[in-house]
Amino acid sequence: MSAEGAIEPAIVADGLTFRYPGASRDALVNVDIRVDRGAAHVIAGANGSGRTTLLGVLAGQLHGGSGGRLRGRVTGAATSALVPSDPYLAQSGVRASVRAELAFGLECRAQEPRRIHERVAAALRTFGLDALAERDPSTLSGGEAARLAVAAQWVVAPVTLLVDDLAAQLDRAGTLALRRCLAEHVAAGGAAIWATTRLDGPLEAAGRVDSAGAGVGGRDESGGSGELDGRTARGAVAPAADVDPRPGTPFSPHAPPSCDITMLVGGRVAAGGPLARRADDPRLAPWGIIPAAGPRALVAPAAAPADGGAVDMMRPTVPAALTIESLTAGYPDAPSPALHEATLTVQPGEIVALVGPNGGGKSTLARTAVGLLPPTSGLVRVGDRRFDAHANAVGPARGAALAMQRPERMIFRRRADEEVAIGLRWLGVPPAERAALVAAALAGAGLAGRAADHPHDLLPSQRRWLALAAVVALRTPVLVLDEPTAGFDAFDLIRFSVWLATLRAAGRAVLWITHDRALASILADRTVRLAGGRVVADERDGGANMEGGV
Amino acid sequence: MTSPAADNADNADNADRGAAAWHPATVAAAAVGLAVFAFLLAPTSGVRTAAPLASVPRVLAPLAPLAAFAAAAALAASGGRPALRRWLFWTAASWLPIAISLVLVHGLVFPEGRMILVRLGPLAVTAEGLAFAAATAARWLAASGAIALVGALCRPAAIVQALEASSLPGGLGHAAAGAVLLVPTARHAASDIRAAQRARGLVVDGSLVRRAASLAPLVVPLAVQLIVDGQDRAAAVAARGFAPGRPMRHAWPLPDSPSQRRLRRAILAAAVLGIVLRLVATWS
């Protein structure tokens, strides 16, 4: 595309100020940004810093005509493509296979069928989606859907690819695949902008990947041998033979990134310059951005619980351990059980992280533990109560509650405090006691001042906190959390470390499903790795020595 | 040498053979044609028979709905066993509620009824009422079977593509297409919501009162999700290059042929002609 060395801007924004309709303050204030062809850029900022708004303006989706008020100028919006942070919402909803979904954007542009076939084939290959080509897009896992979302924008050959914090949905293999794809795009003369709350994704140690020998698509993707069976292998990133971004390309998995960063605080540019120089800026954490060193720079293993009062409010009605014995479970239409003879125990006051690749059986284990899915064989015990295939006690009725991945799936009240209170009402907790528990749960989640707010007025990360508050307030001895930290910024992670410490001190048994191995190794007492439906490792050191990516 | 996986693949091929052979518009035309045929030729008992039908022997007329139904069944069977199963399900699901209500209403209350079979207080089951209910139910059976052909023989994706390629104005084809695929999406979301609420203590079974109380936590998130998702998806689809009214060019056009197009036109013309003749006969 563009000649090497020639500097040609891909997207330029001058003095952007944007206010949403009905808002009392500007979401963006006088933001300048310029990204050239063949270059990449990172926009970092805490949740609520204006990161997503800036991407919306750059992509031309938010403009004066959309009801908001925009000042300043953007050039290059028409040739940019935005990948939103929720990869499922990026799907057209009118295509029944990954292949057809990739073709959709080109079909809308009425391109030649032969060219569509070529581009779709290239996208499938480049993004490691060949094995998923005939799958229904709505049934993909979060990581797979994220890859499809990027591929679906890449396929129409935009000049600038804008990616909004997709890393929140991606496992390690997915993050590396995303980096490779952006590097590819930049190497071919395009521009890439990656907006994120955390710098450890874009900056993930390149050396480690290199040492795996094959770079992206090598051992790091497929992980341990346990992942190479049926279900998981389909989702693995296949190496693309013709992809070899030059070292030094921004985001290349082969080398440290060399690009600029813009840091947003309260809608304003707080700092900028080369990413490498800013990667460990001491101001990152105070600005809510997770530094390149990852969660380790923010949270300590022995975070102190909030205070004695908070601990008391979080105590379970009766402390009990969660024991899972030779549990086999699966879905009726699946050829093989998703979970195979899994055994593990979580003691009261213990935080156990459950890690493993997509499709490894984590969610199945969570659902079986709380009674949403009956086991084919084996047993779940909460304290000395036994639940087998015939038990029909679900959730709090068996002493276990589950916070699912998507908080929107449960929120239905008009006020945050009512959302927490409703579960207590279902359990028959008297009103006076209910009010105290609601207040404590909201305070622990950092939502004390938002009790009367409509949940849909909260930031997505705050809605996640609201779901956690609603589940923790039930005081079940066992708590199962499914990816609670997706999309969290530095402030959220620090709060989360205190929240977990409070649960530990209160004597809850917590099973915590996560992709964030770094965070798990710091905050969990133990890490259990599940792959191919089996427990492949159970270690006390937080999993620091485990082989294979999560 | 044949692995179970290969067997499955073969079955899938067989299942789709019938579906792939017919363009969704052809299936839809056949469905409309059969339904119209069943309604036009069937006599309406208790009401005077239309003039053109006087030439049709009275004995054969009641067979029209059954003939239409048999034709629909044969077409469904041409799509293979899974298609036939889907067809039976959709036919039964749409026809049974209608049939039951017809029998209840006309069986018990039929003013023209003279031959009383059973008397239940102010209500009376009459032979004429039952005959009328049976005749009407037979026509609905044919109509249900005809319409179910579309669901049985066409993949949702093919229906969507046919709608997009149709000459419906503006974004209507796309909107209708979105509605077709909304059903599986909504079903998936509904099951997720149910699980999320049960995992925090909502009891979804038990007495009627309890079930009624559990409705809001299940319905509200689904409604909100469908609205919010709808808005976000509209923005996302626009960002992918979709513009209402702008023609699309499909990467894998649906198989169609001049003979299928001719067949469609012929069926629809015959159906329109039949309706006109029937109306003229009724009014004259």
Higher pLDDT, A547 or A327: A327
Task: Write phi, then psi, for A346 (nearest 5 degrees).
Answer: -120, 115
Calpha distance A373→A392 (Å, rounded):
9
Give the pLDDT of residue A234.
29
pLDDT band at B123 (very low <50, low <70, confident <90, very high): confident
Residues ≥6 apart with Cβ < 8 Å to A487: A47, A85, A165, A168, A197, A460, A461, A464
Minimal-distance CA residue of chain B relative to A400: B199
Please provide the DSSP assignment of A402-468 as one string: EE-S-GGGT--SSSHHHHHHHHHHHTT--HHHHHHHHHHHHHHTT-GGGTTS-GGGS-HHHHHHHHH
Contacts of B16 in chain A (CB under 8 A): none
Q: Output the six-digit token pair for A428.
A: 């028959």
- Exposed/middle/buried for residue A22 (C-beta within 10 Å: 0-12, 13-18, 19+): exposed
C-beta atoms of A156 and B241 within 8 A: yes
**B246 versus B57: which is more confidently predicted?**
B246
Average pLDDT over residues A272-294: 88
| Min distance B46 CA to chain A CA atoms (Å) | 48
Q: Which residues of A touch B228 (CB under 8 A)?
A: 408, 456
Q: Which of A42, A153, A64 is nearest to A108 (CA)?
A: A153
Residue carrying structure tokens 């969990």:
A524
Nearest to A116 among B188, B236, B251 (CB): B251
Smallest CA–CA separation between A212 and chain B, in Å?
34
What does the pLDDT read at residue A214? Answer: 30
B264 phi and psi, to 5 degrees? -55, -45
Q: Tokens 């005809």 appear where?
A: B146
Residue of A120, A403, A410 lying closest to B221 (CB–CB): A410
- What's the whole-number mean pLDDT along residues A258-278? 89
The sheet carrying A339-346 orders its strands as A339-346, A322-329, A377-382, A385-387
Which positions in chain B touch A92 (Cβ < 8 Å)?
233, 236-237, 240, 242
Give A383: exposed, middle or buried? Use CB within 10 Å, 0-12, 13-18, 19+. middle
Query: Which is more confidently placed, A547 or B194?
Result: B194
Question: Is pLDDT above 90 for B92?
Answer: yes
Residue A108's nearest CA partner among B241, B121, B76 is: B241
Q: How far is A420 from chain B (nearest CA, A)?
A: 10
Pick from B229, B240, B250 the residue to mutate for testing the A interface (most A CBs within 10 Å).
B240
Which among A92, A116, A401 has CB closest to B200? A401
> What digits encode the pLDDT tens for the residues B41-65?
655 544 444 444 444 545 556 678 8
Q: B240, A108: Cβ pair inside 8 Å?
A: yes
pLDDT at A548 exceeding the cut of 50: no
| pLDDT in the model for residue A193 | 93
User: With contact defined as beta carbons under 8 Å apart, do A9 and A76 qualify?
Assistant: yes
Sequence letter at residue A247: P
Q: Is A349 within 8 Å of A542 (Cβ atoms)?
A: no
Q: From residue A441, how far is each of A96, A306, A490, A502 by CA, in Å?
A: 41, 12, 20, 11
Closest chain A residue by Cα to residue B214:
A426
Chain A residues with CB-CB distance to B177 below 8 A = 94
d(CA B77, CA A37): 58
Following DSSP, what letter does each residue of A74-106 receive, concatenated? EESGGGEEEE-SSTTTTS-SS-SSHHHHHHHHH
Report the chain A residue with the minimal C-alpha distance to residue B213: A426
Question: How close does chain B come to A140, measured CA to CA in Å?
Answer: 12
Q: E strand or H helix at A208, and its extent?
A: helix A206-211
| Mean pLDDT, all residues of chain B | 79
Rounded distance between C-alpha atoms, residue A404 and residue A468, angstroms: 9
- Asked if A510 and A351 count as a contact pair (C-beta separation under 8 A), the reply is yes
User: B151-189: per-residue pLDDT in tens?
Assistant: 888 887 888 888 888 877 766 777 777 777 677 778 888
The per-residue pLDDT for A90 is 84
Q: What percent of chain B has pLDDT over 90?
A: 25
Residue A432 neighbours by CB under 8 Å, 6+ apart: none
User: Element (H or E) spanning A207, and its range?
Assistant: helix A206-211
Chain A residue with minimum CA distance to B173:
A94
Residue A421 has pLDDT above 80, yes or no: yes
Backbone φ and ψ for A341, nearest 5 degrees, come out as: 50, 45
Residues in A closer than 8 angstroms to B200, CB to CB, are 395-396, 401-402, 410, 423, 426, 470-471, 474
CB atoms within 10 A of CB A390: 7
- Name every residue whose Cβ is closer than 8 Å to that of residue B259 and which is 6 or more positions away in sequence: none
User: Are the C-beta atoms of residues B108 and B122 closer than 8 Å to each other?
Assistant: no
Cα Rg for chain A, rounded, in angstroms?
23
Distances (CA, A) of A383 to A335, A476, A478: 33, 11, 9
Q: Do A408 and B221 touch (CB under 8 A)?
A: yes
Residue of chain A nearest B222, judged by CA positions: A409
Count contacts between A and B (CB, < 8 Å).
154
Closest residue to A107, CB basis, from B197, B243, B251: B251
| Spatial separation of the C-alpha atoms in residues A59 and A83, rounded to whole Å | 10
Whether pLDDT at A546 is above 60: no
pLDDT of residue A517: 85
Given phi > 0 = left and psi -120 to 50 = alpha, else beta, which region is B115?
beta
Across the interface, do B157 and A117 touch by the CB < 8 Å criterion? no
Are the beta carbons of A233 and A227 closer than 8 angstroms? yes
Which residue among B177, B193, B252 sits closest to A410, beta carbon to beta carbon?
B193
Per CB-CB distance under 8 Å, the chain B contacts of A331 are none
What's the gap in Å between the CA of B228 and the closest CA on chain A?
A: 10
Residues of A in contact with B174 (CB under 8 A): 94
Tokens of A237: 């990133």
CB atoms A105 and B240 under 8 Å? yes
Q: Which of A91-100, A356-365, A456-465 has the highest mean pLDDT?
A: A456-465
Structure tokens at B205: 């079974």
Distance from CA of A81 to the nearest CA of B (A): 7
Dihedral of alpha carbons B28, B30, B36, B38, sign: negative
The 8-class DSSP code of residue A349 comes to T
CA B93 vs. chain centroid, Å, equals 9
Pick from B162, B181, B176: nearest CA to B248: B162
* Proportion of chain B above pLDDT 70, given as a percent: 84
Residues of chain A positioned with their CB less than 8 A from the CB of B201? 395-397, 401, 423, 426-427, 474
Q: Which residue has the tokens 């409705």?
A: B215
Contact A108 B241 (CB under 8 A): yes
| Cα–Cα nearest to A179, from A213, A202, A207 | A202
- pLDDT at position B18 is 45
Taking residues A387-392, report their average pLDDT: 86
Of B230, B233, B185, B241, the closest CA to residue A152 belongs to B241
The answer to whether A112 touches A142, Cβ cutoff 8 Å, is no
Distance CA A104, CA B242 (A): 9
Token pair for A13: 């924004």
β-strand pairing of A191-196 with A160-164: parallel
Q: Which two tokens stand for residue B278?
A: 């029937």
SS3 A195: strand
Q: Which of B7, B200, B225 to mutate to test the interface with A (most CBs of A within 10 A)?
A: B200
Answer yes or no: do A93 and B221 touch at CB < 8 A.
no
The pair of structure tokens assigned to B242 is: 């979709």
Mind telling me how many Å the CA of B33 is from chain A's nearest CA? 28
The answer to whether A155 and A102 have CB atoms below 8 angstroms apart is yes
Q: Between chains, do B188 and A89 touch, taking CB under 8 Å as contact? A: no
> What are the residues whose beta carbons fall under 8 Å from the beta carbon of A309, sequence distance 6 or more?
A440
Are the beta carbons of B157 and A95 separated by less than 8 Å?
A: yes
Q: A262 by DSSP, 3-state: which?
A: strand
Q: Report how far residue A278's alpha carbon sits from residue A268's, in angstroms, rounded to the nearest whole number.
A: 17
pTM of the model: 0.77
Reply yes or no on whether the pLDDT at A549 is more than 70.
Answer: no
Q: What is the mean pLDDT of residues B211-227?
A: 84
Task: Inspect the interface and report whether the beta carbons of B249 and A112 lie closer than 8 Å.
Answer: yes
pLDDT for B5-45, tens place per residue? 333 333 333 334 444 578 999 999 999 999 888 887 655 54
> Does pLDDT of A237 surpass 60?
no
Show residues of chain B in contact with A107, CB under 8 Å: 248-251
Of A84, A89, A107, the CB nearest to B229: A89
Residue A249 has a pLDDT of 60
Contact flag A409-B192 (C-beta cutoff 8 Å): yes
The pLDDT tens digits for A338-375 are 899 999 999 999 999 999 877 788 889 999 999 999 99
Taking an 8 Å cut-off on Cβ atoms, the answer to whether B251 and A100 are in contact is: yes
Residue A290 pairs with which residues in a beta bridge?
A198
Tell me which DSSP letter residue B253 carries. Answer: P
Q: What are A65's two structure tokens?
A: 């005509």
pLDDT at residue number A211: 27
Which range of A272-281, A522-531, B247-256, B272-281 scores highest in mean pLDDT? It is A522-531
* Count of beta carbons in the 10 Å neighbourhood of residue B108: 18
The answer, yes or no, to whether residue B236 has pLDDT greater than 90, is: no
